[in-house]
Structure 1
Amino acid sequence: MTGNIIFGIFVGLAGGIATGAGFVAFLTVLGVIPRLTQLTKTLKMVRSYEAAIILGVVGGTWFGLQGTTFSLPTILLIPIGLADGIFNGMLAAALTEVLNVFPILSKRIGIQDKIIYLLMALVLGKIVGSLFQWIYFVDL
């Protein structure tokens, strides 16, 4: 093996270890999965969540490295995109709940009694931003 190949293997392995360690630290230190199960009242399914995350990371990594593309009909992409959006939203909600982002933010900007407006602004901003992206940047 040449030096470039060995160096590439070393850098790839080091990058993978660093990324994996950061992801595990994110999930364990912040307690995202237990808090997510608490919010959704599905504590008995914590092992299923863990297995889904592990399979998703390993499968996503494998398909990403292989350059695999899937050609699915548009009608099948709707429930997949919906499930992905729900998962990301729940993960973000669990993260903000763990970090107490909204109470701290509302206190800092002086709107403790109007926190519902802050939440609605964030939700509507996310919806408008997502629609803007899909309407202008996604070619179907």
Structure 2
Amino acid sequence: MNAQIILVMIIGFAEGIAVGAGFVAFLSVLGIIPRLTQITKTRHLIRYYEWAIIVGAVIASWLSLRNPVLGLPRAIMVPIGLGAGVFIGMLAAALTEVLNVLPILTKRIGFIDKILLLLMAIVLGKVFGSLFHWTIFVDGGF
């Protein structure tokens, strides 16, 4: 093999190890999964949450290397995307609550009395950003 290819393989593997370790540290040190189960009152399902994240990370990593085209109709993809978005949103909400990000942010920028406005800006920004991405970029607009 070419030395350049071997170097790229080593760097890619090292990056994967670093990202994987960061992801595991993020979930375990901050206690995201237990907090998520506490918020949703589904403590008895904690093993399913853990396995869903593990299996999802492995499958997503494998798929990102393959770049597959599933060819599923939109009627099937919409519920899948909605479910994935809800799950990621719940993880983000648990992270935000664990770290108390929003109270700290509102104090630092002097927005304490308008926290609802900040939350709506975040939510609407995510919604419109996702819609823009999936309608413009994915459908071949760019």
User: TM > 0.5 between the two?
Assistant: yes
Asked if 1:129 is matched to 2:91, the reply is no
The amino acid of 1:121's aligned partner reads: A
Equivalent in the alignment of 1:9 = 9
Asked if 1:22 is matched to 2:19, the reply is no
For structure 2, list consecutive stretches of 5 or more residues without a partner in the other structure.
Answer: none
CA 1:133/1:104 → structure 2, altered by over 3 Å: closer, same or farther? same
What SS does the corresponding residue of 2:69 show, helix, strand or coil?
Answer: coil
What SS does the corresponding residue of 2:105 show, helix, strand or coil?
Answer: helix
The separation in 1 between residues aligned to 2:67 and 2:121, in whole angstroms, is 38
Count of aligned pairs between the two proteins = 140
Equivalent in the alignment of 2:37 = 37
CA 1:48/1:6 → structure 2, altered by over 3 Å: closer, same or farther? same
Extract structure 1 runs of 4+ deviating beyond 4 A. none
CA 1:12/1:122 → structure 2, altered by over 3 Å: closer, same or farther? closer
For structure 1, list consecutive stretches of 5 or more residues without a partner in the other structure.
Answer: none
Asked if 1:77 is matched to 2:77, the reply is yes
The separation in 2 between residues aligned to 1:63 and 1:133, in whole angstroms, is 20
How far the C-alpha of 1:35 sits from its partner, in A, is 1.1
How far the C-alpha of 1:84 sits from its partner, in A, is 1.4
How far the C-alpha of 1:85 sits from its partner, in A, is 1.1
How far the C-alpha of 1:5 sits from its partner, in A, is 4.6
Equivalent in the alignment of 2:55 = 55
Q: Percent identity?
A: 61
- Normalising by structure 1, we get a TM-score of 0.85
The amino acid of 2:7's aligned partner reads: F
The amino acid of 2:30's aligned partner reads: L
CA 1:97/1:51 → structure 2, altered by over 3 Å: closer, same or farther? same
How far the C-alpha of 1:2 sits from its partner, in A, is 4.9
Equivalent in the alignment of 2:117 = 117
What SS does the corresponding residue of 1:71 show, helix, strand or coil?
Answer: coil
How far the C-alpha of 1:111 sits from its partner, in A, is 3.4
The amino acid of 1:72's aligned partner reads: L
The separation in 2 between residues aligned to 1:68 and 1:132, in whole angstroms, is 22
The amino acid of 1:100's aligned partner reads: N
